[in-house]
Amino acid sequence: MQAIETLEIRGMCRDFGTTAALQNFSLDIRGGTFVTLLGPSGCGKSTALNCLAGLLELTDGEIILNGKPIQDTPPEKRGFGMVFQNYALFPHLNVISNVSYGLDNKPMPRSERDLRVRWALDLVHLDMDEFGRRFPGQLSGGQQQRLAIARTIVLEPSLLLLDEPLSNLDAKLRGEMRIEIKRLHKELALTTVYVTHDQSEAMSLSDVVVVMRKGQIEQVGTPQDIYNCPRSLYVADFMGYANRIPVTLVGPEGNEWLVETETGHRLHGISTFDGSADWKPGERLLACSKPEDMQVEAPGTANRLSGSVHLVEFVGQAYESVVRLDDNDNLQLLVQSQNTLTQESPVSFGIRPGRLLLFPYEAPSGKRSGQRLSAVSTAVSA
Partner 1 sequence: MATLSQALPVTAPKRRIAPPRIPWEIILFSLPALAVVFGLFIMPFIYGLDLSTHTLDSKGAIQDGRSLDNYTTFFNDQSQIDTIVMTFQVALPVTLFNVVLSLPLAYAMRRGIRFERFITALLILPITLGTVLVAQAMLIYFGRQGWFNQTLQAIGLIHDPLRLVHNWLGVEIALFIQGFPFVFLMILGYMSGISPDLEKASKMLGAGRWRTFWSVIFPLMLPGVAIAFCLNFVANFTVFPSAMLVGEPNALTRVMSIAAYRAAYEQQNTPYGTAIALIMGGIEFLVVALVLYLRSRMARSASLGAGKGA
Greatest CA separation for the chain:
78
Interacting positions 102-121 with partner 1 (CB under 8 A): 102, 105-106
Among 24, 59, 73, 94, binds partner 1 (CB under 8 A): 94
Part in contact with partner 1 (CB under 8 A); list of ranges 18-26, 108-116, 130-138, 331-339: 130-138
Cβ distance to partner 1 smaller for residue 113 or 368: 113
Q: Does residue 176 belong to the site contacting partner 1 (CB under 8 A)?
A: no
Stretch that binds partner 1, among 90-98, 220-228, 276-284, 350-358 (CB under 8 A): 90-98
Among 5, 57, 72, 140, binds partner 1 (CB under 8 A): 140
Does residue 137 bind partner 1 (CB under 8 A)? yes
65 lines the binding site for partner 1 (CB under 8 A) = no
Task: Give the x/- contact pattern for partner 1 in 45-64, rule: CB under 8 A.
Answer: --------xxx---------
User: Considering the complex, what minimum distance in angstroms separates the CB of residue 196 from partner 1?
Assistant: 18
Considering only 46, 47, 71, 144, the residue that binds partner 1 (CB under 8 A) is: 144
Q: Could you say which of 25, 34, 87, 194 contacts partner 1 (CB under 8 A)?
A: 87
Stated length of the chain: 382
Q: Which of 84, 119, 279, 361 binds partner 1 (CB under 8 A)?
A: 84
76/274 with CB nearer partner 1: 76
Point out which span in 132-140, 203-211, 285-293, 370-378 binds partner 1 (CB under 8 A). Answer: 132-140
Residue 111 Cβ, how far from partner 1 at the closest point, in Å? 20
Query: By CB under 8 A, is residue 101 in contact with partner 1?
Result: yes
Q: Does 16 bind partner 1 (CB under 8 A)?
A: no
Nearer to partner 1, 80 or 349 (CB): 80
Our finding on whether 173 is near partner 1 (CB under 8 A) is no
Q: Is 70 in the site for partner 1 (CB under 8 A)?
A: no
Per CB under 8 A, does 172 bind partner 1? no
Contact indicator for 222, 237 with CB cutoff of 8 Å: no
Partnered with residue 82 across adjacent β-strands are 161
Q: Which of 11, 16, 26, 92 binds partner 1 (CB under 8 A)?
A: 92
Closest approach, Cβ 135 to partner 1, in A, equals 5
SS (H, E, C) the chain: CCCCCEEEEEEEEEEECCEEEEEEEEEEEECCCEEEEECCCCCCHHHHHHHHHCCCCCCEEEEEECCEECCCCCHHHHCEEEECCCCCCCCCCCHHHHHHCCHHHCCCCHHHHHHHHHHHHHHCCCCHHHHCCCCHHHCCHHHHHHHHHHHHHCCCCCEEEEECCCCCCCHHHHHHHHHHHHHHHHHHCCEEEEEECCHHHHHHHCCEEEEEECCEEEEEECHHHHHHCCCCHHHHHHCCCCEEEEEEEEEEECCEEEEEECCCCEEEEECCCHHHHHCCCCCEEEEEECHHHEECCCCCCCCEEEEEEEEEEECCCCEEEEEEECCCCCCEEEEEECCCCCCCCEEEEEECCCCCEEEECCCCCCCHHHHHHHHHHHHHHC
Residues that bind partner 1 in the complex, under the rule CB under 8 A: 53-55, 74-77, 79-82, 84, 86-94, 101-102, 105-106, 135-141, 144, 148, 151-152, 155, 168
